[in-house]
Amino acid sequence: PAPGNGITLKDGTLVMPTQGRDAAGLPFSNFIWSMDHGKSWTLSSPARKNTTECAVVELSDGSLMLNMRDNRNRSDKSKSNGRAVGVTKDMGTTWTVHSSDHGALPEPVCMASLISHDLADGRRVLFFSNPNSKHRREKMTVRMSLDQGKTWPKSILLDRKGGAYSSMSMVDEDTLGILYESSLADLVFQKIKLSEFGL
């Protein structure tokens, strides 16, 4: 499994982000899913090669988005630096590249967290956290998207000097929780009211 959260889809299907290596040893990102409460699991096809630690969310239309750490970013510090993002409408049999792929979410090559949350007004919001830098693990940031990850207009900087692995979860309907590696301690847990994002 990848370090990202597993999720439960609207129909009860369990989905766990995963990673593997092909016969030549090149890594890839994918996921496994179960429709019988975990008794049996099905492996999706790879979403992208030369990627590893990934996170998965269900979008409003029922498709799945996989957001991936991309090894190409070790050398790519140009405008095309960024998380690899793919979408599948058939449980990982086929994949399409999302419009936010490479360029929308910069990374220094590090694990990131991605979750979805349904607001009281029916909108589905995505939250994404990672060290927001192309060059080093710093500037731990949480971003918000209300358009299925196409744009990330609002963000909150948590740690300017540090930031590495992170994991988010909803504490309650109005509060986001994040556990992350920081410059102040090995691990920091922080709560963020959704009102800070203007929600």
Tokens linked to 119: 């607001």
Give the closest residue to 169 by CA, choosing from 105, 107, 114: 114
C-alpha–C-alpha distance, residues 108 and 140, integer Å? 11
Tokens linked to 181: 């590696």
Catalytic (active site) residue 53 = yes
Q: How many Cβ atoms sit within 10 Å of the Cβ of residue 34? A: 16
10 within 8 A of 25, measured Cβ to Cβ: no
Give the closest residue to 177 by CA, choosing from 164, 161, 158, 152: 158
* Residue 125 identity: V
* Residue 130 identity: N
Contacts 24+ apart (CB under 8 A), 117-125: 117/170, 117/176, 119/194, 119/199, 120/173, 124/59, 124/60, 124/148, 125/194, 125/197, 125/199
Cite the active site residues: 53
